[in-house]
């Protein structure tokens, strides 16, 4: 049997990655990346033009397919991973009406409060969808469009998420799937369908309800590759494009997080920590995102909005490259000499402080050093994720191993800090492209199912997800005890300043 190749496309905030995976060789043959611009302002606006995503995906895919040893004619399927929560408004012809508001956009905080009130308050919202209407979710972006650009809202015919839009580009179909849909705040995660109550809280005219895409199963195709797209890239026309999913859902697949007991943590622009569940996991306080997975189950998840944001801003402030920055972090003591950073540069989702701003505290004439500030940035981002782990543990999820992904996971010193802060072993997958690799594996699953095979997804992740033993970091007992104290100080600082951010 000829080799089957699969394409994984991962649309992130900073850029789009593409990989080509050989099933026979069980390895990635080609990887490429193209960056995105960002539209932002001091009011919390964070937007991108969806056309930038298509241009980046096109450039990355062309580069991959031009790699020696890659035969585009052998591609059997495509999978797409995308940044969650972004609002892509389209007219009746599939044309983009305006720039997409992103997951990190906090300009729509007032709309969160209005939707919650219209739905009867926080308890009724939780009862209806299993989630709070959090800043960053899609719902508030739709209401913002209705209130601030009513002429565009009147022309609205389709509301898609970023990965849905890339799937639409590839297949011409207006579809979504449960994992990404559950991050809209108008999707019932228990019943796995759109919530009439929340949709009406945004728009009771019926217009929005008519704009929502069809929900397809995780193992089903979103559609099939359009002839024009196939011709553009030299791919076989009509090959399946899997349902795809949000970047966290795809990274769960790409790290083998498709059965209870595995926890994945991402050190990306934002930070996430999540674990698979075979039933809905609802947090009565609303701090945990009760998402569906893109593998047929559920994916209780906590997201913090500032991880590599904190380290990159600090590194750029001091004009350092990654090596120099890492050396400074390693040079500073555990706890950064008492320097603490609440890294809320983009506001914060967990804890829910969308109006918060970053705070550097604990400074003295002796600890105000570059090394301490660099370490405080890395520790602050990690302590924020520790808060997320506490929420998961409150719901009965206990980690035995953390599978670490995202750009920050490439740093040995950061892996050790995470192991010590969480007091849990840390290991990385061999493939750093967890989102794209998850999209590949889901595409293989889709093709298998379409061919009549009863292949279970855990069988595929066991075969294709490999862990890197060289990346493993074990917690040190003394450092873990020290970080327990430091974490308490971090929480006290957060609690003291939180009233100023509300």
Read off the pLDDT band of 406 (50, 70, 90): confident
Cα–Cα distance, 353 to 335 (Å, whole number): 24
The b/e string for 80-117 (b: 16+ C-beta within 10 A; e otherwise) is bbbbbbbbbbbeeeeebbebbbbbbbbbbbebbebbbe
Record: fold of 254-429+466-502: Nucleotidyltransferase; domain 5 (3.30.420)
Largest CA distance in the chain: 69
Confidence (pLDDT) at 437: 96
Q: Which of 10, 105, 247, 328 is catalytic?
A: 247
Place of tokens 């007032």: 110
CB of 21 within 8 A of CB of 276?
no
Cα–Cα distance, 35 to 14 (Å, whole number): 6
**CA angle, 115 as apex, 109 and 120 as ends, to 5°?**
135
Beta bridge partners of 347: 345
pLDDT of 145 over the 70 cut = yes
pLDDT of 483 over the 60 cut = yes
Cα–Cα distance, 91 to 58 (Å, whole number): 23
Mean of pLDDT values over 456-472: 96
Least confident piece of the model among 40-49, 278-287, 407-416: 278-287
Confidence (pLDDT) at 349: 82
More confident residue, 347 or 34: 34
- Three-state secondary structure along 398-409? CCCCEEEECHHH
Domain over 5-243 is classified CATH 3.30.420.40: yes
pLDDT of 65 over the 60 cut = yes
Q: Is 204 one of the catalytic residues?
A: no
Q: What share of the chain has pLDDT > 70, as a percent?
A: 100
Q: Where in the chain are the domains?
A: 5-243, 254-429+466-502
Confidence (pLDDT) at 112: 96
Q: How many helices (H) and strands (E) does the chain have?
A: 18, 25
Confidence (pLDDT) at 62: 98
pTM for the model stands at 0.88
Q: What is the total residue count of the chain? A: 502
Confidence (pLDDT) at 150: 98
Domains 5-243 and 254-429+466-502 share a fold: yes
CB of 90 within 8 A of CB of 157?
yes
Read off the pLDDT band of 1 (50, 70, 90): low
Question: Model confidence over 88-136: pLDDT tens digits?
Answer: 999 999 999 999 999 989 899 999 999 999 999 999 999 999 999 988 8
Question: Model confidence over 436-458: pLDDT tens digits?
Answer: 999 999 999 999 999 899 899 99
Least confident piece of the model among 23-32, 261-270, 440-449, 482-491: 261-270
Question: Model confidence over 149-197: pLDDT tens digits?
Answer: 999 999 999 999 999 999 999 999 999 999 999 999 999 999 999 999 9
The b/e string for 384-418 (b: 16+ C-beta within 10 A; e otherwise) is bbbbbbebbeeeebebeebbbbbbbbbbebbbbbb
Q: Cβ–Cβ contacts within 10 Å for residue 472, how many?
A: 15
CB of 160 within 8 A of CB of 90?
yes
Strands 271-275 and 298-304: antiparallel
Cα–Cα distance, 306 to 139 (Å, whole number): 21
């Amino acid at each position: 049997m000829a080799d089957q190749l699969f394409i994984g496309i991962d649309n992130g905030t900073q850029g789009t990655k593409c990989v080509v995976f050989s099933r026979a060789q069980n390895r990635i043959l080609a990887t490429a990346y193209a960056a995105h611009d960002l539209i932002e302002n001091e009011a919390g606006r964070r937007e991108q033009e969806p056309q930038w995503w298509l241009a980046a995906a096109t450039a990355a895919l062309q580069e991959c397919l031009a790699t020696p040893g890659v035969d585009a004619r052998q591609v059997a399927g495509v999978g797409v991973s995308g940044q969650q929560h972004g609002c892509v408004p389209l007219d009746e012809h599939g044309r983009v009406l305006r720039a997409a508001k992103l997951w990190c956009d906090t300009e729509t905080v007032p709309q969160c409060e209005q939707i919650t009130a219209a739905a009867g308050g926080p308890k009724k919202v939780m009862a209806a969808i299993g989630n709070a209407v959090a800043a960053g979710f899609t719902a508030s972006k739709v209401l913002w469009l209705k209130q601030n650009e009513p002429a565009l809202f009147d022309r609205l015919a389709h509301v898609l998420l970023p990965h849905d839009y890339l799937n639409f580009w590839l297949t011409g179909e207006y579809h979504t799937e449960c994992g990404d849909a559950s991050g809209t705040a108008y999707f019932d995660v228990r019943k796995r369908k759109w919530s009439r109550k929340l949709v009406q809280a945004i728009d009771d005219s019926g217009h929005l309800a008519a704009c929502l895409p069809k929900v397809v199963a995780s193992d089903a195709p979103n559609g099939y590759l359009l002839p024009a797209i196939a011709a553009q890239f030299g791919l076989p026309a009509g090959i399946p494009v899997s349902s795809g999913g949000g970047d966290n859902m795809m990274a769960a697949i790409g790290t083998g997080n498709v059965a209870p007991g595995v926890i994945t943590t991402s050190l990306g622009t934002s930070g996430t920590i999540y674990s698979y569940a075979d039933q809905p996991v609802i947090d009565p306080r609303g701090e945990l995102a009760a998402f569906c997975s893109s593998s047929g189950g559920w994916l209780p998840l906590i997201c913090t909005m500032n991880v590599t944001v904190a380290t990159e801003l600090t590194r750029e402030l001091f004009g350092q490259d990654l090596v120099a920055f890492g050396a400074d972090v390693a040079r500073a003591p555990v706890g950064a000499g008492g320097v603490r950073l609440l890294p809320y540069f983009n506001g914060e989702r967990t804890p829910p402080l969308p109006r918060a701003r970053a705070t550097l505290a604990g400074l003295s004439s002796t600890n105000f050093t570059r090394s301490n500030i660099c370490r405080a940035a890395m520790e602050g981002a990690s302590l924020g994720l520790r808060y997320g782990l506490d929420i998961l543990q409150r719901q009965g999820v206990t980690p035995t191993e953390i599978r670490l992904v995202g750009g920050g996971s490439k740093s040995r010193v950061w892996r050790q800090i995470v192991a010590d802060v969480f007091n849990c072993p840390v290991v990385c997958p061999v493939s750093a492209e967890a989102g794209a690799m998850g999209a590949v594996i889901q595409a293989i699953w889709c093709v298998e199912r379409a061919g009549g095979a009863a292949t279970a997804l855990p069988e595929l992740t066991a075969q294709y997800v490999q862990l890197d033993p060289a990346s493993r970091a074990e917690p040190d007992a003394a450092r873990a005890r020290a970080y327990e104290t430091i974490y308490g100080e971090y929480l006290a600082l957060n609690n003291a300043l939180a009233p100023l951010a509300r």
